[in-house]
Amino acid sequence: MKRYFPSLIFTAVTLVGLAMAGLVYFATVEAARIKFQAVADDALNRIEGRVEFDLSLLRATQAMFLSQRGAISRDQFRTFFGALDVTRNFSGLSGIGLLRLVRRGEEAQVSHELKQGYGIDRTPFPPSDRAWLAPIVLFEPMDRVGLDAMGYDMFTDDARRAAIDAAMAGGGEPRATGPVLLGAITGNASPQSGILVFARLDGADGGAAPPTGLVYVAFRTAELFQAALGKGPLLPLTAEVFDGAPADAGLLFQTATPPDASWGDDFVVRRETTVAGRAWTILFRPTTAFEPPSPRAAPIMLGIFGLVLAAAIALVARYQQRAYETAAKLHKTTEKSLLEKDLMLQEMKHRIKNSIARVLAMARQTAANSRDIDEFSASFSARLQAMAASQDMLTRSRWQRADLGELLRIELAQVFGKDLPDDAVAGPPVELDETTTQALGLTFHELATNALKYGEADISGGDLKVDWRVQGQGADRRLVLNWREKNGKGVEAPQRTGFGTKLIDMNIRRELGGRIDRRYAGEGLTVEIDIPHPD
């Protein structure tokens, strides 16, 4: 049975590695789905914020008319509109207007307003037999199309009438139409898709009399949504906005960029919102610019690593088996030899188990944070070398202890070269145990790598200083180490926590029970590490 032990280990570890690769694959897909949902929520917030900002213009216009009791001349309205700087502040706005609410038979009042404001002789059109009329009497910005629309009775159009009726019954709150063609009523050769939003104007007595009219704004939907989604940073998604349930007839907007079909329908995110009394449904899909939080190749890399690891463990098990057989033969020599070899084997198994567990965890996290196999290989090899350097110092010591200054110089030399200034590291002699040596060795490697990769640390120029001190007595004694990097451009806290930072925090806080404090300032980065160091 012992003969097949390495083969059994190889099979078991291979199965575990493949199972982990499968779990990583499903976790990668789920993480990508969660990330895209967050992107979709960001896009929804942009749309809602933009629409709410544009609707504030309608409320301001409504308040202006109410303050003047509805008696606004064309010149006053044009001055008000010009002060808004619509072109820069309200992208997608087609115009602002006023509908006069009159009874059938009072068309002369409308004709008088149009004559006085625009110098045109016109009665409300088209003819209607309804009891009430809602013709346009003010509109800005004025052009040829807008002038032709003056006097148009919006009650005669079903879509506009439904929104007007809702605004009349809505207690002064704005109410929107579904998709309409702006400019179609005047025979414009190129009408644009848009929406209208209405708000009623109550009479001077505060609502006892019928409303005097309605203010409204017209939006070009394509420009409205492009203004919301087109600002930086651009979001890696496409959007389809529908009035009501998703249907071609209710389509308000669709981005020009096609979605990435490789993500499938599982990544379609549906969101619903209410705008001026209208329910909108928005469908978001990822584009080719969407990047998942973990590379898609991570499960493959983990599977390959599992096979390599299984072979390595089987080989280690084979050598361990031979060592055990040798120890069994030596056991027959003397009782003392038996005890020594048994202790040696137990220690070996313990160290192999700990080393494999550490290497597995480091490999998993390095793979999850690597973009490709080359980056994984470089990062993983560097961290293994840092572990090997710490282990080498321990094995050269009979009592499994290492000097802090020597450990620090070895790790810095691996990153910056062997010619280190004399004042680069400074501190009293401190001996470290095995656990502290391994943890600080990896920590120094990650700090030095980050200084070389992201900062301006130059050992030869003295831009990196490391010093330490020991404070306290007995069981309360602590080792305090300061790592200082100079940087002329200043440093800021990173937006994303990488695996290197997580590895440092895990070594200092979880493994050594200490604390770590990072300070980002204009002169550079300062890291203070405080760990227990009892007598």
Which of 1.10.287.90, 3.40.50.1860, 3.30.450.350, 2.60.40.10 is the CATH number of 52-225?
A: 3.30.450.350
Q: Residue 308's closest CA among 382, 390, 380?
A: 380
Question: What pLDDT sits at residue 88?
Answer: 83
Please, are residues 304 and 263 in contact by the beta-carbon 8 Å criterion?
A: no
Strands 524-532, 515-521: pairing kind:
antiparallel
Please, are residues 342 and 327 in contact by the beta-carbon 8 Å criterion?
A: yes
Using DSSP's 3-state secondary structure scheme, residue 402 falls into: strand
Please, are residues 203 and 212 in contact by the beta-carbon 8 Å criterion?
A: yes
Q: Residue 447's closest CA among 345, 524, 361, 335?
A: 524
Q: Rounded to an integer, what distance in angstroms lies between the CA atom of residue 243 and that of residue 253?
A: 10
CA distances from 123 to 1, 110, 236 (A): 105, 7, 51
Which sign, positive or negative, has the C-alpha torsion 49, 52, 54, 60? negative
Domain boundaries, the chain: 52-225, 408-535
Q: Rounded to an integer, what distance in angstroms lies between the CA atom of residue 154 and that of residue 76?
A: 24
Question: What pLDDT sits at residue 301?
Answer: 72
Full DSSP string of 476-534: G-EEEEEEEEE-TT-----SS--HHHHHHHIIIIIIS--EEEEEEETTEEEEEEEEE--
Question: What pLDDT sits at residue 390?
Answer: 60
CA distances from 68 to 72, 82, 96, 133, 204 (A): 7, 18, 17, 22, 9
Helices assigned H by DSSP within 187-334:
221-229, 298-331
Per-residue pLDDT of the chain (535 residues; tens, 9 = 90+): 667 777 777 788 788 877 777 777 788 888 899 999 999 999 999 999 999 999 999 999 988 888 877 678 899 999 999 888 888 888 889 999 999 999 999 999 999 999 999 999 999 999 988 999 999 999 999 888 889 899 999 999 999 999 999 999 877 899 999 999 988 777 666 788 999 999 998 866 555 567 889 999 999 999 999 999 988 789 999 999 999 999 888 999 999 999 999 888 889 999 999 999 999 999 999 999 998 877 766 667 777 877 777 777 777 777 777 777 776 676 676 665 555 455 445 545 544 555 565 566 556 656 666 777 877 777 677 667 766 666 666 566 554 678 888 888 888 887 777 667 778 899 999 999 888 888 888 898 888 888 777 765 555 556 789 999 999 998 899 999 999 988 766 677 887 777 788 888 988 999 899 999 999 887 888 999 999 998 7
The token pair that represents 133 in the structure block: 């009329």
- Under CATH, which number does the domain 408-535 receive? 3.30.565.10
Neighbour tally for 70: CB within 10 Å: 17
Which sign, positive or negative, has the C-alpha torsion 451, 454, 459, 461? negative
Question: What pLDDT sits at residue 195?
Answer: 96
Question: What pLDDT sits at residue 350?
Answer: 45
**Reduced to 3 DSSP states, what percent helix, strand and coil does the chain have, rounded to the nearest 5?**
50, 20, 30
The token pair that represents 124 in the structure block: 């409300």
